[in-house]
Amino acid sequence: MTNMHLAELNVGRLIAPVDDLRVGEFMANLDKINGLAKRMPGFVWMMEGAAGTGNTDSAIDGDPQFIPNLSVWESIETLETFVWGTIHKQFYQRRQEWFEVLSDLHFVMWWVPVGHQPTLDEALARLEHLRAHGDSDHAFGWAHLAEAKMHQTHGCRDTKVA
């Protein structure tokens, strides 16, 4: 879509507070991974917290252990390359070391007009829509997009883990 970019929200809940040693390796690498995303071809924008490239200060439902990642990409292919074709994949594969298993769907994508920077409230509303109605053009997961191929071979399934 030439007039549209792809927004994504991924919400995880840490197994411990951000300053706990159990999540220390994840926290120590958060700026590195987000910095890599920002240098990737096709990266457009990322919601950032006050402390830097990681957004660990946007508590969801008042819970500071929820970590939302909200970003915008030029296309599904550029997002897939970052998720599955960089060191990010190694952190994704180790997510159970740092994140709780969530009972609800925690990942959503949707198209936004070029130049739009979605708010966390907007993104959470899209996630709720996906939870309530399943994949649609309004809110969707990887399988909804025919051009999304890498998730099929790189292990992203209907998982409830952040």
**Dist CA 90 CA 26 (whole Å):** 11
- Write down the pTM of the prediction: 0.86
> Within a domain: residue 50?
yes
Three-class SS of residue 115? coil
Domain containing 76 equals 4-154
> Within a domain: residue 127?
yes
> Within a domain: residue 44?
yes
Number of structural domains, the chain?
1
Local confidence pLDDT in tens for the 162 residues of the chain: 679 999 999 999 999 999 999 999 999 999 999 999 999 999 999 998 765 545 566 678 888 899 899 999 999 999 999 998 888 988 888 999 999 988 888 999 999 999 999 999 999 999 999 999 999 999 999 888 777 665 555 554 444 333
**Dist CA 3 CA 52 (whole Å):** 30
> Within a domain: residue 24?
yes
For residue 65, give the CATH number of its domain: 3.30.70.100
Q: How many residues does the chain have?
A: 162
Cα atoms in the Cβ-side hemisphere of radius 13 Å centred on 118? 27
Output DSSP code: residue 146: T
Task: With CA atoms as reference, report the closest residue to 80 among 143, 131, 133.
Answer: 143
**Dist CA 21 CA 14 (whole Å):** 12
> Within a domain: residue 43?
yes
Classify strands 66-73 and 4-13 as parallel, antiparallel or unpaired: antiparallel
* Residues β-bridged to residue 77: none
> Within a domain: residue 160?
no
- Single-letter amino acid code for the residue at 124: L
> Within a domain: residue 130?
yes
- Single-letter amino acid code for the residue at 151: H
